Structure 1
Amino acid sequence: MSSTTAESPRWGSVAEAAAEHGVGASSVRRWIGEGRIRAERVGPRRFRVDLDSLTEETSPGLPTPTQLVAALAALDDGDVEAIRRVAEKIYPATDGSALVFAHIWQAIGSVARVQAKAAARA
């Protein structure tokens, strides 16, 4: 669906743009309305999105490379082993679906984030 030449943008759907940046379709539609990303209307309720117009500035919910490296560097071997054990426990419930696994993992992350915030306040 998309072209990869230097002169042409990579076009994709709202859903593809959302998946590529780990956000919901409503966020992508909002960014289109705000003019933060380039898109063209292709129907009454459909857009094609210039996937190359999405940057860290237009999708602020994603970690920067610096944040990602810092977070990974904070993990020790015990942390990595604990993460592996959790992944092994939840994988059978996903029936091999990467998407289901990602949603479960995100839910676990949300719970852990709330617990970490509470611990930091204490």
Structure 2
Amino acid sequence: MCACNTTTQEYASVSATAKKYGVSTDTVRRWIEDDRVEAIRLGPKTVRIKIASLEALITPLGR
């Protein structure tokens, strides 16, 4: 799921994020647009999402 060639996985692509969380790429793009996750643009079509912001967004249901 890493978008870089480092040993630590700090960023993920839109498609990898959608696949991991079982949502559409449109949903991931909405999260970015709504500032629910941190993302960076690397080029005209290349976007990467900060994994730490994804983990903060996803919270387990309380009992």
Q: TM-score, normalised by structure 2?
A: 0.70
Q: 1:56 aligns with which of 40, 44, 58?
A: 58
SS in structure 1 opposite 2:23? Answer: coil
List aligned pairs for 1:1-122, cutoff 5 A.
1=2, 2=4, 3-4=7-8, 10-54=10-54, 55-56=57-58, 64=60, 66=62
Bigger Rg over Cα: 1
- Normalised TM-score (structure 1): 0.40
Give the residue type in structure 2 aligned to 1:46.
Answer: T
- Structure 1: tracts of 5 or more residues without a match: 58-63, 68-122
Give 4+ residue runs of structure 1 displaced > 3 Å after superposition. none
What is the CA-CA distance between 1:44 and the residue it aligns to? 1.2
Give the Å deviation of 1:36.
0.6
Q: Name the CA distance, whole Å, in 2 between partners of 1:52 and 1:41.
A: 17
User: Which structure has more RCO (C-alpha within 8 Å, separation ≥ 6)?
Assistant: 2
For the aligned residues, what is the CA RMSD?
2.2
Q: Work out the number of aligned pairs and report it.
A: 57
Report the identity percentage.
Answer: 33
